[in-house]
Amino acid sequence: MILLFFLLTQNIGYEYLYYSATILEVQFKDEKDSAFAKLIELARDSLYADTTMNFLISKFDSKHGRERHGLKDLFVELGEPAVEYIVAHIDYRGSDEESRALKQSLWVLGEIGGEAYIDAVGEFTNDKLWQVRSGAYTTLGKSESPKARPYVLHGLDDADPSVRKSAFYALNEIATDNEIDVLIHGLGDPSYGVRYAAVKGLVNLGDAVIAPLFEIFGNDDFTDFFVARVLGELNSLDFDRSPLHTHPKTEVRFAYYDACTDTHHLKEAQKSEENERLKAYLQRKIMYLSDE
């Protein structure tokens, strides 16, 4: 049986198919698409699946950007059945300190999505490389599963700001009203990227964040700026916006005006705005939005 399998697979030009599917230029689209389809067919064939999957995963250490994107496209097309093969090889980091194979594994798993990889990926949230930790959190977020929550919350206090940002963006994908306080805490993070990730997460939660945000609004100008951005984006919700456009700091009022896209709310703000530059900004924005 082993000999038969060996003989069958010798006639498959894996390297040629792989090169054609992942590296060929766009002008060879027909050949590229044909090779892509053939590799998918082989990976789904019960006789060739193991060999094909393992061959493709062996290419995860590639330095070639187009090749890596081609690999990602192949595995996204294969979908969830490919996850177990990637997870089985995920401990292989690659041929050097760049850990390319591991980073590719994390990226591809995130693009596939689902819950099957959560625990395997969660192991890398304590990795020595910040890039790996960051990639792990991004992948966990793309699972969109509450099962990833314990791992993601762990990353919100990572020493590296890029990792914290990835963890906050991951939290945005799975956050519920239970995470409002955690996201509000992120508005005061030293990293600009983390603060904006927290803003996005709070906006996603909608009206549940309004009361908690107004409870802290006015305590700190720095945090108020980002609170104003969140509340500015909640255009469709009904609440008293007067504290936003009467805030003593022009920067905070601007943050609200900049985020808001509802002309009714902006016209209300215009009535009380005394700063000439902000009044002019509001006028221009209202005219622009009215013309759309």
Q: How much is the pLDDT for 24?
A: 84
pLDDT band at 7 (very low <50, low <70, confident <90, very high): very low
Q: 95 and 103 in contact (C-beta within 8 Å)?
A: no
Q: What is the pLDDT of residues 105-149, one digit of tens each?
A: 999 999 999 999 999 999 999 999 999 999 999 999 999 999 999
Q: Are 229 and 258 in contact (CB under 8 A)?
A: yes
pLDDT at 89 over 80: yes
pLDDT at 291: 82
Residue 278 has pLDDT above 70, yes or no: yes
d(CA 39, CA 162): 36
What is the DSSP-derived secondary structure letter of residue 233?
H
Domain map (residue ranges) of the chain: 188-292
Instruction: Provide mean pLDDT across the span 164-168.
Output: 98
Q: CA-CA-CA-CA torsion for 202, 156, 170, 175, nearest 10 degrees? A: -40
Query: What confidence score (pLDDT) does residue 241 get?
Result: 96
pLDDT, one tens digit per residue, over 126-137 is: 999 999 999 999
pLDDT score of 79: 97
